[in-house]
Structure 1
Amino acid sequence: MNRYREIDKNAWPRRTVFEYYRTFQNQLFNITLEVNAEPAYRMAKRTGRSFFLSMLYPLLRAVNAVPALRQRILDGERVVEFEHTAALTPILGADDTFTMALTEYADRFDAFLRQAEPAVAAAKRGEFDPAVRRRQDYFCASCVPWYGFSSLTQAALRLDQSIVILAWGKMNRSFTIPVALQLNHALADGRHVGLFLEALEKEIGSMAAYEC
């Protein structure tokens, strides 16, 4: 598990907002964004890399760029902020069932690929360590490449969960993909979604420079 710091809620500017939304039965909100994926797509085509991983990497970087999206609620009311979060993503196997793959954070795309490609290969074989689910330092990221969508509501294990849930869909002819987020309103709001979108557009744009 990645390192984390516990937030001192007595000195936390968001404390009042946090406590307000923690009274809600359903603390989750869902939002769907449109993102230009062309730089990542063209890089993947040029280098022969997986377009799936070429999108997962900037998504991973963008989530980690926003501190609120690295925060989790533990033991009821403790709030911690992880130094980095990984991405837990379902991989489709030959039998049309899904196995999860954990891809860790990395500062460079080539370093990301070195651990992500074997993780995806293992998931395609149906191999996954269930102990990973005991971690809190990840977000869930699903790709649905068969169709686009204009709105998506994610499944929720609990209506007060704090793990970020993310999905992205099929790219259209304008190189646009939908990206859906589910966040806990006690930790994040529309401003944080805007910061995520800004970071994601920057990260996707930077993929054009990769030659690995």
Structure 2
Amino acid sequence: MTNRQATKRCLIYMQDRYNKEIIPIEGWEREETFRFFSTFTQPFFNVHTEVDLTPLYRYCKQHGLSISLAYMHATTQAARNTESFLLRIQNGQVVKFSGLDMSTTILKDNKQIAFTHFPFVENLADFCAEGARIIAEVKKSPKLFNGHQGIDLLHMTTLPWFTFRGMEHAFSICQEDPGVPKIGYGKLEMRGEQVYLPISIGLHHALADGYHMHLFLEELGRVIQGYTL
């Protein structure tokens, strides 16, 4: 891919939906780390792990809710509660958003994918109902991109046909990558009475380290445990 093509690809980002504040880089506790990793041609690091989804899985089964929409909702909720997941790079500045939505791939009726925006709604049942409506529309849409595609998102994809022990996302390196987190899910694994979800998470190293990944996974676990019946 040429620099011109990469730049063109980066221009799909739309105006932000959420309010934001600028984090001054000079004097920031991550200033040296930020400046170091910002020079990398590929600044993302990836972690491949799994989460115990059992409480949320059982809750969805009891209430007739989409399990995939539910775990994406839980992921978004956990990210909104984890400061480093709210950080982005925009116009050479570090910004922190007040909230996040998600954009995930949807498999259309013609078996092609569509990148699709789902606005965050606090109530899981309401989110799943609106999500089902969006999916039904997108499945018949000829478009690749559907809805808001700003940087105040999480980029997600699901591979429900198989489990995995690792996953890397395709992306172009912009002159300034905004650092949108990249999250992938695999096929659910049943082990006795427990249900596990394979998950791959990619973060921009200028904005986060392994410790911050740990904080997010801890928060995701708390969100899921909140659905214990």
Give, as a single letter, the amino acid of the residue that structure 2 aligns with 1:4. K
Equivalent position SS for 1:40: helix
- The corresponding residue for 2:30 is 14
The amino acid that maps onto 2:35 is E
Could you tell me which of 177, 190, 196 is aligned with 1:173? 190
Are 1:37 and 2:53 matched, yes or no? yes
Query: Which residue of the partner structure matches residue 199 of structure 1?
Result: 219
1:179: how far off? 0.7
DSSP-derived class of the 1:116 partner: helix
Q: Which amino acid aligns with 1:167?
A: G
Match of 1:59 among 72, 75, 91: 75
How far does the alpha carbon of each residue in 1:98-149 deviate from its partner, in whole angstroms, 9 at most, with x for none? 122211223321342343232222222226665623x111111111110111
Aligned to 1:105: 120
Residue 85 of structure 2 is aligned to residue 69 of structure 1:
yes
Distance 2:184 2:109 in 1: 21
- The aligned counterpart of 2:3 is none
Q: Which runs of 4+ in 1 moved over 6 A?
A: none
Aligned twin of 1:154: 169
Structure 2 unaligned spans of 5+: 1-16
Q: Which amino acid aligns with 2:63?
A: T
Q: Does 1:118 align with 2:133?
A: yes
Distance in 2 separating the partners of 1:98 and 1:59: 21
Relative to structure 1, is the Cα distance of residues 127 and 4 closer, same or farther in structure 2, using a 3 angstrom cutoff? farther
Matched with 1:143 is 158
Aligned residues with identical type, % of pairs? 25
Which residue in 2 is equivalent to 1:163? 180
TM-score for the superposition, normalised by structure 1: 0.90
Counterpart contact for 2:159–2:186, Cα < 8 Å: yes
Q: TM-score, normalised by structure 2?
A: 0.84
- Give structure 1 stretches of 5+ with no counterpart: none
The superposition leaves residues 179-202 of structure 1 with CA deviations (integer Å, 9 ceiling, x where unpaired) of 101111000110111011101111
Tell me by how many angstroms 1:41 deviates.
Answer: 1.3
Q: Which amino acid aligns with 1:183?
A: L
Give the conservation status (yes or no) of the 8 Å contact 1:102–1:116: no
